Amino acid sequence: MTPEDIAHWQSWCGKPEWREEVLHGPDVVRLAEALSWDVETLGWPPLGHLALFLPPPGQRGVDGHPARGGFFPPVSLPRRMFASADYQFHRPLIAGMPAMQMRVLESLEPKHGKTGTLLLGQVRIEIWQEGEKALEEVQTIVWRDDGPPVPLPIPVSPPPTCDAAFTPGPVQLFLFSAATANAHRIHYDLAYASGEEGYPGLVVHGPLVAAQLLGLWERRHGPAKTFAFRAQTPLFAGQPIALAASDDGLQALRCDGTVAMQANAG
């Protein structure tokens, strides 16, 4: 990754894309199923917009992500991950009505981390409906080199103290992948996840965990106006995930007690 490479990739920044579609309610219901969220009782599921404005059909890379060189530049670093997001919910989205989405790669900056060179991309997404901005999202996407194999966490006894818990299995990961059109193979292809990316199991989607944390908060307080999360370490199918809420925010903990995600809602 040379300075010339970085400058070339940065030429993708600042070019907004606009799309219009009618918001399809059944798509949001399918996401709710993946979250075990009762829409009839609780209404719109947490982060339900992730089931909308799905990527259009196109070429895919070997990892299942859309081929690089479209919205994202052709970064040479092999791994791409959704690291964090910050949301502002201005007004509820209305199913069955048209809406506009704008997304733009705002910045792309090299960093140095524990696994070597990183590239951090900031993506801004806005959804507009009836002439008003309904939602703002700022994502942090990370590209990095391959790293060493990751060991399977060893559960602690007693398990972490929590307010709620869930154990995602392959079916839940499949349902979430399908509802959000996420074809990254680490979520459903165990041979790829372990053999190519060095994980000890299927990886749980960061946004799936984030939605569970937001759901914990919204069950108590109602629809949130703001939400932010940051993933810190991977979680794996078949292992329990503890969800905890306190005055300091929201946490998702692995079965070994490690904080895997930090979040805040308001």
* pTM score: 0.95
115 has pLDDT over 80: no
Query: Going from the N-terminus, what domains does the chain have, and what CATH number goes with each?
Result: 3-57+67-265 (3.10.129.10)
Residues 26-32, mean pLDDT to the nearest whole number: 97
18 has pLDDT over 90: yes
Task: Please name the residues in contact with 213: beta carbons below 8 A apart, sequence gap of 6 or more.
Answer: 229, 243, 250, 251, 252, 261, 263, 265
Q: 29 — phi, psi (to 5°)?
A: -65, -35
Q: Which helix (H) or strand (E) holds 171?
A: helix 170-180
The pLDDT tens digits of the residues spanning 37-76 come to 999 999 999 999 999 999 888 899 999 999 888 999 999 9
CA distances from residue 121 to 40, 50, 73, 167, 182 in whole angstroms, order as listed = 37, 19, 10, 31, 18
Q: What is the pLDDT of residue 1?
A: 80
Share of the chain above pLDDT 70, in %: 99
Residues 128-150, mean pLDDT to the nearest whole number: 94
Share of the chain above pLDDT 90, in %: 88
- End-to-end Cα separation, the chain, in angstroms: 40
- Angle between the 206-221 and 170-180 helix axes, to the nearest 10 degrees? 90
The pLDDT tens digits of the residues spanning 197-217 come to 999 999 999 999 999 999 999
Q: What is the pLDDT of residue 55?
A: 86
